[in-house]
Structure 1
Amino acid sequence: MNVYDFQATALDGKPVDLAQYRGKVLLIVNTASKCGFTPQYQGLETLYRELHARGHGFEVLGFPCDQFGHQEPGTEAEIGAFCEQNYGVTFPMFAKVEVNGDGAHPLWKHLKGEAPGVLGTEAIKWNFTKFLIGPDGKVVHRYAPQTKPEDIADEIEQVLQQ
C-alpha cells in the first residue's frame, strides 16, 4: 500500500481519490487554526507556491485536526476562510480528520505505520506533524511539529530531483 490507495474528503465535502497525486512529491500535514505552530501555514504556502510553480509535481495536503487541545474547533467553511484570509493558503485542504485513536483516518494510520515517531511510537504528538511522500507514494520522512517548513525545503528538493 501507499498513499495513492486512499481517499479523503475535501473541505467542500467532495471525495478526493489520492491516486490523482500519483507520481508527485507530497507533504502531508495535520493542521490547526489556533495552535502555536499555526504560523507554519505561511511556510507551507511559500513552499507550495515556489515548488508547485516550477512544475516539478509538488503538493502540500493539509488535514485539519481537532485532537490536540481543541485547537481546530471550526467548521470546514470556517477553516477554509481562516486559512485563505490569514495565510493566503492555496494548497489543497481536506475536511477535519482524527489522526490518533480508533477513529483515525485510514491514511493517517498508514502514515504512522510507515514512519513511526520518536522511540518507535506511532502516535502523532501534536498539530503540524509532517510526512514527506516520494513520487512512488511511500513515506520518505516524518517531521516533528516544531520542524519549520522552510527547514525541510532542501530535502523536498532532493526528493523532487530523484
Structure 2
Amino acid sequence: MTSINDIALTTLKGEPTTLGAIDGAKLVVNVASKCGLTPQYTALEKLAQDYADRGLTVIGVPCNQFGGQEPGTADEIETFCSTSYGVTFPLLEKTEVNGAGRHPLYAELTAVADDTGEAGDIQWNFEKFLVDADGTVVKRIRPRTEPDAPEVIEAIETVVRPA
C-alpha cells in the first residue's frame, strides 16, 4: 500500500513532487480563483506564514470542477494568487478531485470522513485536509469553514511543533 506521502504530484510549474518531499504537516486545500470562497486565500496565507516555523505547509490544489471557477492557465493562476492575495505557499497543477479522473491523492483524501462522519466527494472549492508529517489525514474541513476557525487552529496545534 502506498503512503499518501508517496503519491506522485506535480507542482504548478510542472515539477514532480510528493507530500513526503515537504517536511512536517500539510494543509491541503482545493482552491479556485473565481469562487465566493476565494477570499479564504488571505487566511490560508496567514496560516502558512504563522505556522511555517512550526512545521506546517499550506498546499493549494487548483481545481476547475466546481462551476468552472478555476479556468486559468498555470501562469494565470500563479499571477492571480500572488498579486491578489500575496500567496507564497506551494500550488500544485490543476487537478480533478472528484469523478472518474480523480487524482490518486484525492482518492485517498476523500476516503476520510469529516467531523459528522461523512466521507466521499469534495463538496466545493476550499475543502481542507490536515495531514500530519507521517501522512495520516487527521482532519477533514468542509469548504465554508474558514481556515482560521478555532476548530482548524486547534487541529493544526496538534500536528505542529510547539511554539
TM-score by length of 2: 0.91
Per-residue deviation, residues 44-89 of structure 1 (Å, max 9, x unmatched): 000000110xx22110010000000000000011000000000000
Letter in 2 for 1:116: A
Count of aligned residue pairs for this structure pair: 158
RMSD: 1.5
1:4 aligned partner: 5
Note the C-alpha offset of 1:92.
0.3
Write the distance in 2 (CA, Å) between the matches of 1:19 and 1:134.
10
Does the C-alpha gap of structure 1 residues 70 and 40 become closer, same or farther in structure 2, counting only changes over 3 Å? same
Higher helix share: 1
1:63 aligned partner: 61
Write the distance in 2 (CA, Å) between the matches of 1:44 and 1:3.
22
2:72 aligned partner: 74
- Secondary structure of the residue aligned to 2:106 is helix
Q: Structure 2 matches for 1:4-83, cutoff 5 A?
A: 4-22=5-23, 24-52=24-52, 55-83=53-81
Letter in 2 for 1:120: E
- Secondary structure of the residue aligned to 2:37 is coil
- Secondary structure of the residue aligned to 1:149 is coil
Q: Percent identity?
A: 46
TM-score by length of 1: 0.92
Note the C-alpha offset of 1:18.
2.4
Correspondence for 1:135 among 123, 130, 133: 133
